Chains A and B, each alone.
Chain A
Amino acid sequence: MSRKFIIFMLFPAISLYTLFFIFPAVHAFYISFFKWSGFGDKMVWVGLGNYIKSFNDNLYLLSLKNTLYIIFIGGFFTFFLAFLFSLALSSGLAGKKFFRAVMFLPFVITVFAVIAMWRNIVYHPRSGLFNLILKTLGFDRILWTSSNNVFWAMLIAMIWTYLGFYVVIILSGMDKVPQDLYEAADLEGATVWQKFRFITLPLIWDVILICFTIWIILAVKNFEFPYAFGGLNIPQELYNTSVMMYITGFGQRYPVFQLGYASAIGIESLLLAMILVVAIRRLLKKDIEEF
């Protein structure tokens, strides 16, 4: 196959990718140096003004904090539970495929349906599932979706929704580890924890790195979950950087329309994702164990 033919075959895909991804990203970078509403031609050069503004903007700093909470706290609990469930499912449990499918289900259901369930059935102040359980156990109810708690309520729902996806990926990695290694470890008297730490973890390290990378990217760009959870008028407590970017650029009910500033927030989100992904891969880099 000649080089020219390869280029010819790749050309449509590369053109589309350039037109719909590369060009808009470069254009967004360009717009981020201007004060512009998005209407008309009135673009006022402000240089790094939008970037400096963001670090003096309490609302942006709140959205950045929330994004970091989603990445680290949300990530910790998602992967802790994902490992737990993966270990349980790979321990020879009956109905493994069934449980795996059930766990994966929330990930394939539309986000709006999942959120409607959490907001109206699980978190309802009077008749919600969680408050009914608390009442039965003799505790006071919690206003899960009050402004003090709404972010954590959303994070719980998010973890529940995305958990199954990571269980499936980690489980598929675990399934490839040869059983004779575990048999040998059993003969040596290794505990469950030792087997996990010295056999499972090193051999699925590349899978774990991929999962962390996907989680960071999804957490930074996650828009639909907090936006849908906020409902008619998303409260500021739910803002992450993606929501902040959207509301600033396009408004929800209010014609805020600061497209230049929103573009700067978008570029900062891209940089955040890139820095974290590179940092995670460097910190957790190790030689890939082969079997």
Chain B
Amino acid sequence: MRKIALLVILSLLPLFSLMAKQTEIVYWSVWAEQESQAKALAKAFDSYEKSHPGVKIKAIWNGRDNLVKLRSYLASGKSIDLFDGDAEPYLGLVLKEDLAADVSDVAEALKNDLLPHTSSVFNIKGKQYAIPYIHNSVMFFYNKGAFQKAGITSAPKTWSEFMNTCQKLQKADYNVLAVEGNVDFYQFFYTSYLLDRLGGKDFVMELATDRSGEKWRSPLVRKMLTLERQLWENGCIPEDSKGYQYPAAQNNIAMDDTAMELVGTWLPMELRNSVDPGFQWGAFGFPTVPGGKKSTNLVLVYMVMGVYAKSENKAEAKSVLKHILSAEAQSIMAKEADQGVPRKGIQWNAGIADAVNVVNASTGGFVGDGVTKFYPDYASQIMKPIHSKFFLGNISADEFVEQMVQATKKYWANK
């Protein structure tokens, strides 16, 4: 009897040792479990576990409150290994609270595999705190059918070509630009691009960090305001837009009422169940402006993932991160979740196929508005709300400039 017992124990020993060696990687996610991006990630994790038998990945699908929930969890003394989020809020938190480990080694290993201006934008003072795994960039997404009806044969590259496109679409009885009245960060895409074209990609940051606030009086800012106002005065943006609550404006594109929107590469995925089967998406980059730089920089709104600074399994977590950027995992994300991906050579689905050409043709990129990651309270409580008031016609250009000067001055005085 004793011999039998001993035999059983000895035969089970390898199993125990395997269990003892198993590493659990805990990943806190910005996705909800039922979202297609979560399902794509879950598949990627399954394939990683198959090739790494000693590793188990535990995914917590928190949804958009991921970073908020993370705070309480970490405050209780617990630890995680991987977490993700929208690039700007993620970076804003990480830089403020020192939450992410340096993943420069991962970025270096992947640098030749990723699309241009992808990973390098997350290199801050020689360290890298995140790797983008879903590519979202902001450009004009348009209804190809509307452009055909309006007799537009090529995408505009300059501001005057853009205004001409706008006129042709109006003549073909289309509303031109979808604008959500209650989404100030969508409205700020226009500003980010115009200020980049006029003053370069660091210009918004220069305006925000001038402690006197006086830089907002710059003639380049005035020009930006004039060009934005032109969009309304020329009827490119319909008056209705002031009352649109997301997603009312973008739904008008699906209803063949409105032709296009300046928004991220997520738009075709969001509308895929609303558009007709024959609907075709096109995409083009933000035009250059008169007197401005010949820039075709892109506003990047990536989803990024990083390793928690106090993770006990950093090496393994970095290995999982590399796997998320592998050709296999990125293909699943592109095909099944209908996402743009930062890895080269992966086919994007039809709705965003044109967007790859825009990305490849761009001269560079910058993350979001450039300010949020360092000064999220300035961006969200001052810059974007005041801009939204101007954009929607509630204040004049003079009032905008004055309010920005005073608010910036007060912000830095209280800092």
Using CB atoms and an 8 Å cutoff, list the residues of chain A in contact with chain B: 37-40, 53, 56, 59, 119-120, 123-126, 143-150, 230-236, 250-251, 253-258
Contacts and interface: CB of A to CB of B under 8 A. Distances in A.
A118 B355 CA distance: 36
A230 B182 CA distance: 7
B380 interface: yes
B377 A145 contact: no
| CB-based closest 7 A-B pairs | A143-B243, A125-B243, A255-B93, A254-B380, A146-B242, A254-B376, A255-B92
Given A53-B414, A253-B380, A150 B96 contact: no
B181 A39 contact: no
B403 to A, nearest CB: 10
Contacts of B88: 254
A250 B74 CA distance: 14
A141 B183 CA distance: 22
Contact of A254 (B243, B244, B377): B377
Interface in B388-415: 388-389, 392, 394, 414
A231 B246 contact: yes
Given A145-B244, A256-B377, 7 more contacts: A39-B97, A144-B243, A232-B183, A235-B385, A254-B88, A254-B377, A257-B97
Given A126-B240, A148-B394, A233 B75 contact: no
A38 B75 contact: yes
A284 B245 CA distance: 41
Contacts of A257: 71, 93, 96-97
B381 interface: yes
Contact of A38 (B71, B89, B392): B71
Contacts of A253: 64, 86, 89, 185, 380
B372 interface: yes
B184 A235 contact: yes
A119 B89 contact: no
A145 B381 contact: no
Give the one of A143, A146, A150, A236 with max B CB within 10 A.
A146
A254 B372 contact: yes
Given A38-B71, A254-B89, A254-B377, A147 B240 contact: no
A145 B97 contact: no
Interface in B224-244: 239-240, 242-244
Contact of A39 (B71, B92, B242, B385): B71
A235 B244 CA distance: 13
A255 B385 contact: no
Contacts of B244: 125, 145
A245 to B, nearest CB: 14
A258 B65 CA distance: 16
Contacts of A119: 245
B71 A147 contact: no
B240 A233 contact: no
A148 B376 CA distance: 25
Contact of B92 (A145, A231, A254, A258): A254
A256 B376 contact: yes
Contact of B380 (A149, A230, A250, A256): A256
A251 B376 contact: yes
17 contacts: A145-B182, A147-B181, A147-B394, A150-B182, A230-B182, A231-B245, A232-B182, A236-B385, A251-B67, A251-B68, A251-B89, A251-B376, A254-B88, A254-B92, A254-B380, A256-B377, A257-B96
B310 to A, nearest CB: 11
Nearest to A148: B394
Nearest to A128: B243
Interface string B291-310: 00000000000000000000
Nearest to A234: B182
Interface in B156-183: 180-183
B150 interface: no
A119 to B, nearest CB: 5
B271 interface: no
Contacts of B185: 233, 253
A164 B381 CA distance: 36
Nearest to B74: A39
Give the one of A120, A250, A254 with max B CB within 10 A.
A254
B379 interface: yes
Nearest to A150: B182
Contacts of B180: 232
B88 to A, nearest CB: 8
A255 B67 CA distance: 8
Give the one of B180, B185, B381, B389 with max A CB within 10 A.
B381
A255 B376 contact: yes
A256 B378 CA distance: 9
Interface in B64-96: 64-65, 67-68, 71, 74-75, 86, 88-89, 92-93, 96
Give the one of B239, B377, B388 with max A CB within 10 A.
B377
A254 B389 CA distance: 19
B248 interface: yes
A258 B377 contact: yes
A283 to B, nearest CB: 36
Nearest to A143: B243
B115 interface: no
Given A53-B414, A235-B385, A254-B380, A123 B243 contact: yes
Nearest to A233: B183
B75 A145 contact: no
A40 B246 CA distance: 36
B376 A145 contact: no
A144 B182 CA distance: 12
B99 interface: yes
Contacts of A123: 243, 245
B173 to A, nearest CB: 15
Given A147-B388, A147-B394, A233 B89 contact: no
A136 B295 CA distance: 50
Contact of A37 (B97, B245, B414): B97
